[in-house]
Amino acid sequence: MNTIIPNAIERVLLDEETIAVRVHELAVQISTDYVKSDNLVLIGVLKGAFIFMADLARCLTVPHHVDFIALSSYNRGTVSTGAVRLIMDTRASVTGRHLLIVEDILDTGYTLDYLLRTFRARNPASLRTCVLISKPDRRQVEVPVDYLGFEIPNEWVVGYGLDYSDRFRTLPYIGVLKREMYK
């Protein structure tokens, strides 16, 4: 396939093939771990996780439901302020169910920390996290990640669900945004 690389992209960091292989590996691991637990619910964090979640869910070999939440994280450009607000909750009740939060990227950790506290308070049967990308250098709060796709350096990445000001989400690869785009 002919991959289109917009001018705003510095370079491709993770190509389609690399992502697909890793997502499949994560799905095998998750399917193994949840083989004995019914009532698995994947909770995708909108909007960023929508593509990752769709690919991951279709690779799972265990029964599961999908649900979504949406957050607003009061970003100023590429800078997170740390304040998080739930703007759309899950459709179904999560009490007594096995929850797997599916997130696109872990940066400061504020978002996932907020989600873990929020869902823990609702008494699920279990609560784990699956994150496609982590930027460990940026962490402000430590959060447990049970399933991790990739660790990357501190750069702004877009594509495969990830955006910059709501742009570039549907690029099939994950690319580094040119610094001049947000400097």
Told to check if 161 binds ligand IMP by CB under 6 A, we report no
Catalytic residue among 107, 146, 163, 166: 107
Task: Show the binding pattern over residues 81-120: x = contacts Mg ion (CB under 5 A), - = does not.
Answer: -----------------------x----------------
Among 41, 53, 104, 128, binds ligand IMP (CB under 6 A): 104
Are the C-beta atoms of 30 and 53 separated by less than 8 Å? no
Provide the minimum distance between the beta carbon of 21 and Mg ion in the complex, in angstroms, as a whole number.
22
Provide the minimum distance between the beta carbon of 177 and ligand IMP in the complex, in angstroms, as a whole number.
8
- DSSP 8-class letter at 181: G
Beta strands in the chain (DSSP E): 9-14, 40-46, 65-72, 75-76, 79-80, 85-88, 98-106, 126-134, 147-151, 157-158, 174-177
Told to check if 48 binds Mg ion by CB under 5 A, we report yes
Strand order in the sheet with 65-72: 85-88, 65-72, 40-46, 98-106, 126-134, 147-151
Binding at 55: pick from Mg ion, ligand IMP, none (beta carbon under 5-8 Å per type): none
Q: Is 107 a catalytic residue?
A: yes
Structure tokens at 38: 């019914």
Provide the minimum distance between the beta carbon of 84 and ligand IMP in the complex, in angstroms, as a whole number.
7
Binding at 109: pick from ligand IMP, Mg ion, none (beta carbon under 5-8 Å per type): ligand IMP
Helix ranges (H only) for the chain are 16-33, 50-59, 110-120
- Residues lying near Mg ion in the complex (CB under 5 A): 48, 104
Active site residues: 107
